[in-house]
Amino acid sequence: MPKIFFIDVTNRDGVQTAHLGVSKLEKTMVNMYLNEMGIFQSEFGFPTTSHETLYLQSNLELAKMGVLQPIRLGGWVRATTEDIETAFRLVPDIRHLNLSISTSDQMISGKFQGKKNRDDIIQMMIDAVEAAKSHRAESIGVNAEDASRTNTDFLVKFALAAKEHGAHRLRYCDTLGYDNPFSIYKTIKTLAENVGIAIEIHCHNDLGMAVANSVAGAKGAIDGGQDAYINVTINGYGERSGNADSLSTALAITKSKDFLEKYQLGKPINLTQAWKIAKFASYAFTVPIPMNQPAVGSNAFAHASGIHADGVLKDPENYELYDFTEVGRGEVELVDTGREICSGQYSGISGFRHIMGRIAVHFKDSEEAREILELVRYANVATQKPLVEDELLFIAKYPQIAKKLLTLRPFEEPTQINVLPPAGVTQR
Ligand SMILES: [Zn+2]
């Protein structure tokens, strides 16, 4: 039986959100958390964008070191041979790619201004797939941008050509959030049946249906006999009204009426990590979690009315579909309301030792402490907010990786920095 997998695109689509940005350290932390959560793949960035190069390289190094394992790290590029060449020149170790090209008549004429037709689109995609294969890409997805406004027969033709040339997945992009659960189910089932390729479902939330469409699309792929790879983002971040929220989608699959009986996850997701990752992403993106956000909103388990409160006290299942502990909630959060010593870009050694001591990191000598402090200062310049404990621990544990993540060299060809042996930082 085909299964459902999650590809998180927070570090690609999520970071394209207008008015928002995150540092490379924060993107790395997102990958660390996604890995802990058991997400199949992180679309971790843009291999042709030079300010991403050292970040992408260092995350691939973390994968080699066994730290970012078993999560798969995939890059997003346009489906052009130039982009493929650039991607492998800047990030030679990248092995998983999604190649994107517009497929709707609206975009073919609207974006290429009459310079390309449907056959040209297929040819560009084939050339890109062949180029990626020649660089020993291990998995290749081809993205049909604006698939929901694309003629279905053309989509079948496009996907068959991709499959014939060695692509592993078709990404069906509902770029404008135009689909509804009924339309996406029908189209994706048709694609799965007629092409015989695994299908990625990439939904946007312009009509408030991204999660519902993702679930319906996954059902369509499986009913058509193929694996479904749902694209999600943490807290639903993404362009305009965002993408399918990761946690809501996972809950819809595992908790909604009868769904799990036939449609199952191919890789278990540890939902108890959901609270932590939602909170971190909210902090990193500086976007508060809405109070009515499923599972992680402040009101998601709040009961005030007499009948509900009485009912839930007698038996939580009267008014709750799942328990708060299942999504990692329940720990009391103690916030210091007195004196606070936090990290900053002008932190000194004494305050820094105090902060690190509080999270049980001890340095072998003052030189080592000063080195880590210097990295923490730079990290604060990048994030523009006090670092969270996990970020401080990460820097102390992987200082050479942190150094790369914090390095930006505009107008200079980024090159590989060799990783030095880890510093003798001990955490007790
Ligand atoms: Zn998108």
* Model pLDDT for residues 204-226, shown as the tens digit of each residue: 999 999 999 999 999 999 999 99
- Report CA(325)–ligand 1 centroid distance (Å): 31
Separation CA 309–CA 275 (nearest Å): 23
Which residues are bridge partners to 97 per DSSP? 75, 140
142: nearest Cα among 99, 107, 102:
99
8: nearest Cα among 102, 139, 98, 89:
98
Q: Is residue 94 scored above 70 in pLDDT?
A: yes
Three-class SS state of 191: helix
- Report CA(317)–ligand 1 centroid distance (Å): 36
- Residues ≥6 apart with Cβ < 8 Å to 208: 241
Two tokens at 143? 């993205």
Pairwise pLDDT comparison (16 vs 160), residue with the higher score: 160
pLDDT tens for residues 250-286?
999 999 999 999 999 999 999 999 999 999 999 999 9
Average pLDDT over residues 97-105: 95
- Report CA(310)–ligand 1 centroid distance (Å): 43
- Report CA(340)–ligand 1 centroid distance (Å): 40
| C-alpha distances in Å from residue 57, one per residue of 128, 233, 236, 312 | 22, 22, 26, 50
- Report CA(239)–ligand 1 centroid distance (Å): 7
- Report CA(229)–ligand 1 centroid distance (Å): 14
Parallel, antiparallel, or unpaired: how do β-strands 361-362 and 228-232 relate?
Answer: unpaired
When the pLDDT of each residue in the chain is averaged and rounded to a whole number, the result is 92
Residues in the 5 Å CB sphere of ion ligand 1 = 13
- Report CA(203)–ligand 1 centroid distance (Å): 7
- Report CA(13)–ligand 1 centroid distance (Å): 5
Parallel, antiparallel, or unpaired: how do β-strands 72-78 and 96-102 relate?
Answer: parallel
- Report CA(261)–ligand 1 centroid distance (Å): 29
What are the backbone dihedrals phi and psi of residue 361, each rounded to the nearest 5 degrees, phi first?
-105, 125
For residue 304, the model assigns a pLDDT of 80
Strand residues in 1-84 grouped as ranges (E): 4-8, 41-45, 72-78
- Report CA(243)–ligand 1 centroid distance (Å): 7
Q: Is residue 423 scored above 70 in pLDDT?
A: no
- Report CA(284)–ligand 1 centroid distance (Å): 20
- Report CA(238)–ligand 1 centroid distance (Å): 7
- Report CA(175)–ligand 1 centroid distance (Å): 6
Banded pLDDT at 335 (limits 50, 70, 90): low
- Report CA(148)–ligand 1 centroid distance (Å): 12
pLDDT tens for residues 119-177?
999 999 999 999 999 999 999 999 999 999 999 999 999 999 999 999 999 999 999 99
pLDDT tens for residues 289-327?
999 999 999 999 988 888 888 888 888 888 899 999 999
What are the backbone dihedrals phi and psi of residue 312, each rounded to the nearest 5 degrees, phi first?
-75, -30
- Report CA(5)–ligand 1 centroid distance (Å): 17
pLDDT tens for residues 19-42?
778 999 999 999 999 999 999 999
Query: To 5 degrees, how large is the angle CA 378–CA 379–CA 381?
Result: 65
- Residues ≥6 apart with Cβ < 8 Å to 47: 53, 56, 75, 76, 77, 86, 87, 88, 90, 91, 94, 97
Average pLDDT over residues 400-410: 93
For residue 420, the model assigns a pLDDT of 45
Q: Is residue 417 scored above 70 in pLDDT?
A: no
Q: Is residue 424 scored above 60 in pLDDT?
A: no
For residue 65, the model assigns a pLDDT of 97
**Percent of the chain surpassing pLDDT 70:** 95
